A and B are shown apart, each in its own frame.
Chain A
Amino acid sequence: MRYLITHGMIIDPSQRVATIGHILIEAGKVARMYEMTDRLPEADPDLVIIDAHGCLVTPGFTDLHVHLREPGEEHKETIATGTQAAARGGFTTICAMPNTHPAYDTPAVVRHVRQIARDVGTVQVEVIGAATVGRQGRTLTEMASLVEAGCIAFSDDGSPISDPAVMRNALAYSRMLDVPIMSHCEDTRLNKGWAMHEGAVSMRLGLPGYPAAAEEVQIARDITLAAMTGGHLHVCHVSTAGGVELIRHARQHGVRITAEVSPHHLTLTDRWVLGTLDAPPSAAQGSLTQRLDQYSHIYAAGIQSMRQSADLPLPAWLNPTLLPPFHTSTRVSPPLRTEADVEALIAGLADGTLDAIATDHAPHALVDKQCEYGLAACGISGLETALGLVLTLVHRGALDMLNAIACLTEGPARVLKRTPSSLRIGTQADLVIIDPDYQWIVDVNQFVSKGKNSPLHGQRLKGRVMLTMVAGQIVHQELGFGMTPRATPVASRLEGILNTDDDDA
């Protein structure tokens, strides 16, 4: 099958290209680019035209940090469902974390997982090996054999390596393999029994806190060890302003360090745990009891009827008061931090201190979340809302579009020391078509991921993945997208709305 994607805004950070034109996909590769004035190929029954008017066409995204739960916790997610969710989110390559049962700590398990991914995966799956046997933090795994079996990095994600000598050896030993050690930086002695970020909200709610310092001291430790060993340290899901500052300083001093940040840490704060408590009157009127009644019907009935496409009035994005207090969907590790941390993380992305946006997609079953806040499993099902969240930053002017796309494509490739996915002629056609103005309301029941655990349920997002292609094959397509001419691109339609005053004059 050949595809011609027409009238899209082609954004390719790897070539510093942003132009409107057409792309021809043939034999799984990017075959040709056309400018708007060029003559298009003749109509042909074998040529599928995809009209991308008003949309962005970008290289496929890479997610450095995904929990696929297979083997061992297939009730939470499988490689099949996780890769389908990835396709919906625009990710054409995802890296699977090894906190499975068994862990990805032997070549046999890694080969097995890669085989399943080849058989049933809709996108490319890379495997991150466990750094220590059984993720126990004591004995290094057979890293060289694991790299031979296909591992592209090592991590004990979720179980930080507490013994500094083990971390030192992991960083040193991995040097000969030239792969990163992805560190979940958390000193677990500083946050015993934690439920959320330690700050004003945890004080108010009486929940045990996870201080920013518990992340920062571990980042500082790992930086020192990376500097000593020359190993490549990759800091997972940075969540604190102090963490960003430490990484910035380490970069300036030549430490081999890269870092990622999650969409939720870039957009949500610990205020979300407070939910409707202290909601401004306009957001939720009446007593707490009445408010509880209001949202219980939203939760029970689903929100399908509220789903609309364009032309919704845009209020302030992302409203934490849609959630009841103590909603376990907000429990995540590291926890949602403060506004000051969010601003520092955005600044870190903008100035290149942080390389990549990675979802830390952590699907859980309902029973893991429908319980006491402090007992709830940590994690957010993030693949399908990642782009929408990242684009909230673009829409409010905090991040420019090219930079945002680069953090989803070039940045992760830099961490893995690979050639970034690209729209260069002759490269494998892994690409995404995004409608940046498409407004939609998140409904977790519509997720293809088994993990319905998202604090974004009911939130309005602007920007959506309309089509995802892996090696020239469509792996995700919004119903009917691109098959009929999009006569009025959304962007110009919005322009028309904004200019009504001028028309009248």
Chain B
Amino acid sequence: MTLPESMRPTRRHVLDLDDFTRHEIETVLDTAIGMKEILSREIAQVPTLRGVSVVNMFYEESTRTRISFELAAKALSANVVNFTARGSSVEKGESLLDTMRTLQALGADILVLRHSYAGTAHLLAQHFRGAIINAGDGSHAHPTQALLDLFTLRDKLGTLERRHIVIVGDILHSRVARSNLWGLTTMGAHITLCAPPTLLGNEQFWLDTWPDLRIVYSLEAALQDADAVIVLRLQRERQEAGLLPSLREYAQFFALTSARLQAAHAGMLVLHPGPMNEGIEIAPDVAISAQSVIEEQVTNGVAVRMALLYHLALHLRRKGA
């Protein structure tokens, strides 16, 4: 596959979407269309990244993101190794940087990092000679999730320009929400945030950073005229930390139920980054309704990650040459 000059990759790391231009996002999404075609072939594998070593460094539980990255790397014929914090030298007290240096010495070209502390991807990017992909760091950023959401939304809505997207749930602690805000606003979408104040944090921050953004406490009101809603996972710890009186009350006022779905615009899409707490933030019948694109998000995730791996590897090769 050859890329036109305007799509030649210049990016070394993917840490967040805050430094992506609209053109760059579109390039990644367009590349992902081609990758999705590869995935639909009888033999869903191409030799493009043969000899490139990808290490999935997962310091936090994850099923779909890790498998998605693994399948993406394999579809491009890269060598892929999974590293999880359990059963590694981390348990013996090795630091993140030491582990990174070890993986570097073992020949890793691209590190995919998932970590429960914000800023860890930036930390590795300062010291690693290859490329870093942030697969979620604390409450900070989850750029590949946001890109696959953008891909899914663009695919279904045709464009993101002036489309109205609602994000509902634990926005304060959500890396998905943060990265999506950068990506969606860069693509010209209008955003409404919906959550109780304890899960929004400093509301002025959102309004100052994205002046067109709206904050609404009522989900019914938020969903009026929405083209799509991204439902966030509610961690049970939030209730234990006292941010919510009860999960029951949260579900009563903020869950996406079929009644709320029916009251909204008929074609409104439903997205969820997973894993879902069915019955808390989303009703089970909504998750499998015709408007739900949750399964497609997962499928698209592989294509989007293939596109990123491809771009980063090309850049590494060009630099190396």
- Interface positions of A (Cβ within 8 A of B): 192, 195, 198-200, 203-209, 277, 287-289, 292-293, 296, 299, 324-326, 367, 370-375
Contact B118 A326 (CB under 8 A): yes
User: Which residues on A sit within 8 Å (CB–CB) of B126?
Assistant: 292, 296, 299, 324
CB distance from A97 to the nearest CB of B (A): 27
Task: Select the residue from A192, A370, A372 with max chain B CB neighbours within 10 A.
Answer: A372
Q: Is B97 an interface residue (CB 8 A)?
A: yes
CB distance from B252 to the nearest CB of A (A): 27
Task: Select the residue from A203, A324, A370 with max chain B CB neighbours within 10 A.
Answer: A203
Contact B122 A374 (CB under 8 A): no
Once A195-B118, A370-B95, A372-B119 are accepted as A-B contacts, the answer to whether A206 and B18 lie under 8 Å apart by CB is: no
Contact A372 B117 (CB under 8 A): yes
Q: Is B138 an interface residue (CB 8 A)?
A: yes
Task: Select the residue from B11, B118, B125, B205 with max chain A CB neighbours within 10 A.
Answer: B118
User: Which residues on B sit within 8 Å (CB–CB) of A374?
Assistant: 117-119, 138
Q: Is B65 an interface residue (CB 8 A)?
A: no
Report which of A288, A324, A373 forms a contact with B118, defined as CB distance below 8 A. A373
Contact B138 A203 (CB under 8 A): no
Question: How far, in angstroms, from A33 to B206 measured CA to CA in the complex?
Answer: 62
Contact A288 B15 (CB under 8 A): yes
Q: Is B63 an interface residue (CB 8 A)?
A: no
Question: How far, in angstroms, from A277 to B16 measured CA to CA in the complex?
Answer: 11
Q: How many residue pairs bridge A and B at CB < 8 Å?
A: 89
User: Which residues on B sit within 8 Å (CB–CB) of A325?
Assistant: 119, 122
Once A198-B202, A205-B140, A206-B141 are accepted as A-B contacts, the answer to whether A287 and B118 lie under 8 Å apart by CB is: no
Contact B11 A287 (CB under 8 A): yes
CB distance from B213 to the nearest CB of A (A): 13
Q: Is B277 an interface residue (CB 8 A)?
A: no
CB distance from A327 to the nearest CB of B (A): 9
- The residue of chain A having its C-beta at the shortest distance from the C-beta of B201 within the complex is A203
Contact B205 A326 (CB under 8 A): no
Q: Mark B131-145, 1 if CB is under 8 A from A, else 0.
A: 000000111110000
Report which of B10, B119, B205 forms a contact with A203, defined as CB distance below 8 A. B205
Report which of A200, A324, A375 forms a contact with B117, defined as CB distance below 8 A. A375
Contact A200 B13 (CB under 8 A): no
Q: Report 29 cross-chain contacts, Cβ distance below 8 Å, ordered by A residue.
A: A195-B118, A199-B205, A200-B204, A200-B209, A203-B172, A203-B201, A203-B202, A203-B205, A203-B206, A204-B178, A206-B138, A206-B173, A206-B175, A209-B201, A277-B19, A287-B11, A288-B19, A289-B11, A289-B13, A293-B12, A325-B119, A326-B118, A326-B119, A326-B123, A367-B95, A371-B97, A373-B117, A373-B123, A374-B117
CB distance from B154 to the nearest CB of A (A): 23
User: Which residues on A sit within 8 Å (CB–CB) of B138?
Assistant: 206-207, 374
User: Which residues on A sit within 8 Å (CB–CB) of B205?
Assistant: 199-200, 203-204
Q: Is B314 an interface residue (CB 8 A)?
A: no
- The residue of chain A having its C-beta at the shortest distance from the C-beta of B179 within the complex is A206
Question: How far, in angstroms, from A371 to B126 measured CA to CA in the complex?
Answer: 12
